[in-house]
Copies of this chain bind each other. A is one copy, B any other.
Amino acid sequence: MNFSSDNVAGVSPEIMAALAAANAGSQPSYGADSISERVERRLAEIFERDVAVFPVATGTAANALALATVAPPWGVVYCHAEAHIAVDECGAPEFYAGGARVVGLAAPHGKIAPADLAPLLPGGKGVVHHMQPAAISLTQASEAGTVYRADEIAAIGELARSHGLALHVDGARFANAVAHLGCAPADITWRAGVDILSFGATKNGAAAAEAVIFFDKAKAADFAFRRKRGGHLFSKMRFLSAQLDAYLADDLWLRNARHANAAATRLADGLARIPGLRLRHAVEANEIFVEMPDALIDSLFAKGFHFYRWDGPRGNCVRLVTAFDTALADVDAFLAVARRANTSGGH
């Protein structure tokens, strides 16, 4: 009954089994093992092109290291105002990029559009007094639980290209977006102008595993040095790669995401039918933002449900997050309490 985050969940059984299986015998260290090689090949298939792949253990590391390769110390990275890189990474992108600037843009429903970016560009390009526009970072699925469509990304990709900016996607919940769209992963990445993807697994069933994927291998030249220097190169890399290997096998990544999305949809649909409750954003992935009366929030906490109020300690919007292992019974139990508490008036 924990809807507080997808990182309170554990690990998919398939991934735990892969860790155990990877433990047999000696393996070359630092990524020269056979499992790491297989992961790179598998991602090339999934993305339908040659890619450079660098596993790391956290999303913050993936994002910050990726952005550091495209933003010079005097560069500006544009993103949504609520992006993880802007508010939840304690300045990791600034740190890794040697003092670059992350500029968060307010925009509805967690998604930025060319119209949000265009007024800021070219942004004093070439003028030595100003930090220089360097990259755009999109969060897919967004922090509002919405999903960028391929055409939306392509429009931003076009803008990025025309101004010489790199396009990065923070895909901590990339699987949820692909599951929602039912598209080819390539359609919402390199075919739409994306240069680098932080391909997340941790929130969707891994213990601690993400992959930074460069769609142009030539641009990945320095990444290995940055990763090592950041302390993110694992000696026993096989245990990082094994998680990704199992995650990609038999579409586990998509199956997990479909489950989480379905649980979120079921929960959202149920909540939407309860008078007095209002969904703040469309529910397209595994996050629900719903406004509800204080009394109902208190009732749900009292029943043992875990989740966060989103607008501060007394705000009446709550965030509910589902995961690969969310029990539908928990969803239904939550809805039952919500319906009952609401009926009883919340007085």
A286 to chain B, nearest CB (A): 15
Known A20-B20, A87-B130, A94-B99; judge A232-B10 contact (CB<8 A).
no
* A38 contacts partner chain B, Cβ-Cβ < 8 Å: no
- What is the bound-complex CA distance between A108 and B87, given in angstroms? 26
* A2 contacts partner chain B, Cβ-Cβ < 8 Å: yes
- Give the contacting residue for A225; candidates B90, B97, B306; CB below 8 A: B90
B230 touches A92 (CB 8 A): yes
B9 touches A90 (CB 8 A): no
* A11 contacts partner chain B, Cβ-Cβ < 8 Å: yes
Across the interface, which residues of B come within 8 angstroms of A132, CB to CB? 225
- What is the bound-complex CA distance between A346 and B119, given in angstroms? 30
Interface string of A211-232 (1 = CB under 8 A from B): 0000000000010111111111
A236 touches B7 (CB 8 A): yes
* A28 contacts partner chain B, Cβ-Cβ < 8 Å: yes
Q: With A72-B225, A90-B131 given, name 12 new contacts (CB 8 A).
A: A7-B29, A8-B27, A8-B28, A10-B23, A10-B27, A30-B129, A73-B229, A74-B226, A90-B128, A92-B229, A101-B101, A132-B225
- Which A residues fall within an 8 A CB radius of B? 2, 5, 7-11, 16, 19-20, 22-30, 56-62, 64-65, 72-74, 87-92, 94-102, 128-132, 202-203, 207-208, 222, 224-236, 239-240, 306
